[in-house]
Amino acid sequence: MDSGFGGSLINKQKVDKDDYSTIFVFNTTISAILYIVLFCFAPKIENLFNTDGISGIMRLLCLVFLINSWGIIPNTLLIKQLQFKLIMIRNVISTIIASCFGILLAFYDYGAYAIVGYQLMYASLCVIQNYYYTRYRIRFKFEYYRFRQLFSFGFFTTVCNIIDSAYENILTFLFGKYLSVQKAGYLDQAQKLEGTATQSLTTTINNVSFPILVQLRDDLKEFIVEANRITIAVIFLIFPILSLITVFSDTIIEVLYGEEWLPSAKYLSILIFAGYFVIIEYLYRNFIKSYSSVRILLYGTIFKRTIGIGIILAFVFYNANLAIWGYVVSSIIGSITNIILYMYCLKLKHSNTVKNLLYSLTGQAFLLSILYFVYCVISNIYQLIIVIIAIYLIYYIATFLQLKKKSLL
């Protein structure tokens, strides 16, 4: 359990042992209290859902809160020191061993406990490796004034995360309530794929860029240059992949789920289109957070999520089948809001920032149009593959030369 204080430690320029120990004591204490509460209420939750055995599973699974709370500080140290190679090695080792352990439990008919075993093993291995790589020594020292220094940043970012999480859950509820069961099922499968593509990418980009940008915060010019580079790199490298998913959504759905799930392809294309704006939104959210303007970020989050839910509700009440387009509009508003907040916080000229962003997005729109045209014209799969490879080679070379010419790389 991070409570936003891991980011607070990364955000603070000069951090000492007392800062780390203060957050360590706070996180482990809150996690222990949370676990005790969940442990006591587990039987009542089991009765609420009328599912036998969920109490025992819940009590074991919630141990992950406790385990992770002990590894937050060394994990923060790895991120703050930009040790992303070690983090990758840690994750790979933990995933392989935990997966083998989970498969072994499943083989011996432990059922749902196999998943619980995987989660506990993965968390434990990550924590052990965190301590091994950082050599961090636990100190049980809490200083209130240090906690207050770190509280503001952690509090505002945590509230933003809670609002975003509530927004996503409200969307799931609305789609499930007002769409037919069949359409809700198709949409759910599409959301899983879209979430895997966009959320994993945004999480990785933000985790890597945040500590880098924090170090450049005192030099506004360098901060802006680095933020522009990150934006261009994301649009240049990642958006073309999303374009492929958008065009070939039916093929992807058929391969992964079978022909009976083909209606999900339409939803996947629309969600991936919204994903362009979701990535931009979270990219600029990270820039604002890196510049430590978290209070403004919170106000912006409240504004855009309130407007977004209102728009989606309007679409739902007009025609439930158009609700997904309400999500697209909400995503566009979210990205525009964060871009405006970013320019306001850094006192940037609107023309230059918008111009560079539009320049990059225009290339993506052109690429997407070509892909759709080629997909509709060419029916032979082998010819289609060859043509697409050629298109992407030309696109990457031409875009690279243009960006280099304009000094955007």
Per residue in 153-199, pLDDT (tens digit) is 888 888 888 888 888 777 777 777 777 777 777 887 888 888 777 87
The span from the CA of 249 to the CA of 261, in Å, is 11
Rounded to whole angstroms, how far apart are CA atoms 192 and 272?
A: 11
DSSP 261: G
pLDDT at 98: 93
**Cα end-to-end distance, the chain, whole Å:** 37
pLDDT digits (tens, 9 = 90+) for 275-292: 889 999 989 999 999 888
Q: What is the CA radius of gyration of the chain?
A: 23
Check residue 301 and give its pLDDT. 92
Low-confidence ranges of the chain (pLDDT < 70): 1-3, 49, 349-353, 403-409
Locate the DSSP E strands across 277-351: none
For 184, the token pair is: 């809700």
Cα gap 173→316, rounded to integer Å: 12
Distance CA 137, CA 17 (A): 10
> Coil, strand, or helix at residue 243?
helix
Q: How far is C-alpha 62 from the chain's CA centre?
A: 22
Q: Report whether 184 contacts 175 (CB < 8 A).
A: yes
What does the angle CA 94 – CA 168 – CA 233 come to, to the nearest 5 degrees? 65
Closest listed residue to residue 320, CA positions, set 175, 186, 173, 182: 175
Closest CA relative to residue 245, chosen from 280, 279, 276: 276
CB 161 within 8 A of CB 105: no
User: pTM here?
Assistant: 0.80
| CA–CA gap between residue 151 and residue 12 (Å, rounded) | 11
- Rounded to whole angstroms, the Cα distance separating 282 from 278 reads 6
Residues in the chain: 409
φ/ψ (deg, to 5) at 345? -65, -40
